[in-house]
Structure 1
Amino acid sequence: MPVNETLSQYSDWSYTTATAIYVLALVFFLIEQSFGAKGRRAAERTRERARELVGAGGPDSTETVTPPAETPAARAARGRAERIGRMGAALTVLGVLLHLTALVLRGLATHRVPWGNMYEYIMAVTFIAVVTWLVVIRKFPARHLSGFLLLPVVILMFVGGTMLYTVAAPVQPALQSYWLVIHVSAAAASSGIFLVPGVASILYLIRSAHERDPKRFARFGSRLPSADVLDRIAYRTTVFAFPLFTFGVLCGAVWAEAAWGRFWGWDPKETTAFIAWIVYAAYLHSRATAGWRGTRAAVINTVGFAVTVFNLFFVNLVTTGLHSYAGVG
């Protein structure tokens, strides 16, 4: 069927608008991160003081204990920063809706799933990453960190929409298979989710270094959530993404057998995906072992994130292999 150029154009406009909205939300989150730090630290001291009083037989934890450090001016600044953060969250939701619109319109324009080339694949990966983060900030007090997640998302979308942009068209005959729906969707979804623990683990390393030595990352590390919060974000999102990634690798092997007559051939794409799988399996194993929690586990997760990014760009765009014609994950 011929490509619907009108829907394709609307998809491109939605993609560009979503990117611009993410940039604006990024600015709002950075403002919240910068100017709401004192208020968050004062609120944290309030909770710690309340816990100390309860432990000493003092007033109930439901009572409000306001430390002298949180002045009315500080509370007002915290309130303004939180309002700006909520505005950033609302903009992010709007960006996600436009992002989804771009994906759907691209699929309708080409009469296939919208992840048949690098441009569309990055569109799908970044969409999953932002949706995952919206779920995370509903469960954890980490909304002010959204700028650190949106930064790589915006960079990926800019690169995808400029250097990697591909005109809407049917996929090559080799990709006209139902495995494109199953294998590539699992790979895109897991890659998007892995972006979240990658960022969380990097921030964990900064926060833990600051806790060990307050002079290190003094201005930045103190503004991050506790290392425990960042560790739980990284672990829980990795636990969710790893089985999906494993499923994608297995589906890729089955598709390879049907297309090339072998399940595994140590193609650069296959090899890098296998290395990433080993790294994330090592992370989950180390995280489940008491002696390897914390910094060591975060380092392993960061390495897994680096391998995933390497697989997304270098292997797809530089190396030559059986996956080179596809340009997808």
Structure 2
Amino acid sequence: MILAAETNESLAQMSNTLVYSSMAVYTLAFLAHIAEWVFGSRSKVGRTAAALTQQDTAAAKVTVQVKKAGGTAVLERPKVVTRSAAGTRDVPDGPGAAGGTVKGDLYGRIAVSLTVLAFALEAAGVVMRAISVQRAPWGNMYEFSTTFSTVAVGVYLAFLLAGKNVRWIGLPLVTTVLLDLGVATTLLYTESDQLVPALDSYWLWIHVSTAIFCGAVLYLGAVATLLYLFRDSYENKLANGGQPGAFARSVLERLPAAATLDKFAYRVNAAIFPLWTFTIIAGAIWAGDAWGRYWGWDAKEVWSFITWVGYAAYLHARATAGWKGRKAAYIALIAFGCFLFNYYGVNIFVSSKHSYAGV
């Protein structure tokens, strides 16, 4: 018989202090990212418009030579602007939030440094929570939320450490993390305590940890997909001779090209899809051990499968002619919406064996 470990209240309180401290630092990182966008130079924007103009000019100058009885007839090809699928338009990436200036880049580096500090504080808070109860620190919605945001920031920083140009994710990421922690520490907060019997299993470490990691990566893919839709609309408007507003030129021009954003979203979603598949399988095995059946059409099981189907449809759409680009992006956002409902909606509003409402 395994005796339940006692809760160390001092360590639990230290965990809360670390989480609140991380929120304060994330707030400073948020302000630094805002400064990066505001004070970054706009002098280097306009590259998208210039690139599209050069493409149109080159297309307009294309001639067709027709050999004809000893002479050559030169016909000008009419200028035609077509809406390109993602990845086919040759448009350079934007200079980034900083706009390529020293001042803007300084604020950006400060923002990243503060994000690293906040991540360290939050991660320490998660570890302290685990030590205080001597179990995995994701036994309820509060713990899941704090761990989820920690992993999401960790994945983002790992991309930066690997030399990937993903600083454009910084502002939406920090904003979302602040919202997540705000909800977690107010509406979802649960006192540090032991697990209910059904969760007291080594599968908690395997199944839930992979679910958290998958969700964090899928979140980054969703951010890239959403920004892709805005950037693609901007490029299409320019390609068709439109004039976007000043705000669109200032913000969207600095983002990576639509093709770059679309490629990033596809790669992260495709890379994490097998692990999400494993997450569902691991959950089924755990259900067999805990409840004596592998699948019982519980709400959490159903929505996990719906999420899996959504991302499978997205990956299939990416490989299907006529569904690449915006149509596939809409499917990806719907799939991520299913993931969010699977967490918040099922846990709070649906009666389920997986529901942690009130815990």
TM-score w.r.t. the length of structure 2 is: 0.78
The aligned counterpart of 1:249 is: 280
How far off is 1:203 after superposition?
0.5
CA-based RMSD of the aligned residues comes to: 2.6
Q: Secondary structure at the match of 2:118?
A: helix
The CA deviation string for residues 51-87 of structure 1, in whole angstroms up to 9 with x for no partner, is xxxxxxxxxxxxxxxxxxx9xxxx9982101100000
140, 145, 151: which one pairs with 1:122? 145
Aligned residue pair count? 304
Deviation (angstroms), 1:326: 7.6
| Structure 1 unaligned residues grouped into runs of 5+ | 49-69
Does residue 1:3 correspond to 2:7, yes or no?
Answer: yes
What is the alpha-carbon distance in structure 2 between the residues aligned to residue 109 and residue 121 of structure 1? 16
Give, in angstroms, the shift of residue 142 of structure 1: 3.2
5 Å-filtered alignment, 1:122-141, equals 122-137=145-160, 138-141=162-165
1:79 alignment counterpart: 102
Secondary structure in 2 matching 1:269: helix
2:167 to 120, 126, 143: 143
Distance in 2 between the 1:83 and 1:152 partners?
23
Q: 2:16 aligns with which of 7, 12, 15?
A: 12
Q: 1:222 to 1:314 in 2, by over 3 A?
A: same
Task: Determine which structure has more spread, i.e. the larger CA radius of gyration.
Answer: 2
Identity %: 39
Which residue is 1:56 aligned to? none
Distance in structure 2 (CA, Å) of the matches to 1:76 and 1:177: 50
TM-aligned CA distance change 1:92 to 1:76, over 3 Å: closer
Ranges of 4+ aligned residues in structure 1 off by more than 6 Å = 42-48
Sort the Cα spacing of 1:93 and 1:47 in 2 relative to 1 into closer, same or farther, 3 A. farther
Alignment partners' CA distance in 2, 1:76 and 1:233: 21
Whether the aligned pair in 2 keeps the contact of 1:30 and 1:144 (CA below 8 Å) is no
Q: Which amino acid in the other structure matches residue 239 of structure 1?
A: A
Q: Which runs of 5+ in 2 are unaligned?
A: 53-94
Selected match of 1:228 from 244, 259, 263: 259
Conserved? CA contact 2:41–2:100, under 8 Å: no
1:256-300 superposed Cα distances (whole Å, 9 cap, x missing partner): 112222211111111111110011111122223454322122111
Deviation at 1:37, TM superposition (A): 5.4
User: Which deviates further from its counterpart, 238-247 or 76-85?
Assistant: 76-85
CA distance in 2, matches of 1:244, 1:32: 35
Aligned to 2:354: 323
* Counterpart amino acid of residue 242 in structure 1: F
Alignment of 1:156-235 (within 5 A): 156-214=180-238, 215=243, 218-219=248-249, 220-235=251-266
When normalised by structure 1's length, the TM-score is 0.85
Q: What is the DSSP-based 3-state SS (H/G/I as helix, E as strand, rest coil) of the residue aligned with 1:24?
A: helix
Match of 2:114 in 1: 91
Call closer, same or farther: CA 1:82–1:45 in 2, change over 3 Å: farther
Identify which of 303, 312, 316 aligns with 2:343.
312
Show the counterpart of 2:309.
278
Q: 1:183 to 1:327 in 2, by over 3 A?
A: farther
Shift of 1:36: 2.0
CA contact (8 A) 1:201 1:230 kept: yes
Verify the 8 A CA contact 1:140 1:229 in the aligned structure 2. no
Q: Are the counterparts in 2 of residues 209 and 216 from structure 1 also a CA contact under 8 Å?
A: no
Please state how far the C-alpha of 1:250 moved relative to its aligned partner: 0.4
Measure how far apart 1:144 and its partner are: 3.6
